[in-house]
Amino acid sequence: MTTLGARIRSLRESRGFSRPALAQMSGVSERAIQNLELGQADPRVGTLEKIAVALGVKVEELVKK
């Protein structure tokens, strides 16, 4: 099973985005993205929505189990 953080990182990297670039596109801080990717934080729904839009996926794709 892949974690949420691993899915975010994989999608980000597959699109060629750095953490700062994803932060700028999503309006979510780079630190928050880092914490999510490392599994050190649980995201709010609004944060997931912003990241999903920036990555061009549905929220469901990020949170699938």
- Looking up residue 14, the CATH number of its domain turns out to be 1.10.260.40
The number of distinct structural domains making up the chain is 1
Within 10 A of 21 (CB to CB), how many other CB atoms are there? 14
Tell me the pLDDT of the chain averaged across its residues: 94
Q: Which helix (H) or strand (E) holds 18?
A: none
What does the pLDDT look like over 24-49, one tens digit per residue?
A: 999 999 999 999 999 999 889 999 99
CA distance 36 to 17: 16
Cβ atoms of residues 43 and 4 within 8 Å:
yes
Per the structure, the complete domain to which residue 46 belongs is given by 4-56
CA atoms within 13 A on the CB side of 34: 7
Q: Is residue 63 part of a domain?
A: no
pLDDT for 65: 67
Is residue 8 included in any domain, yes or no? yes
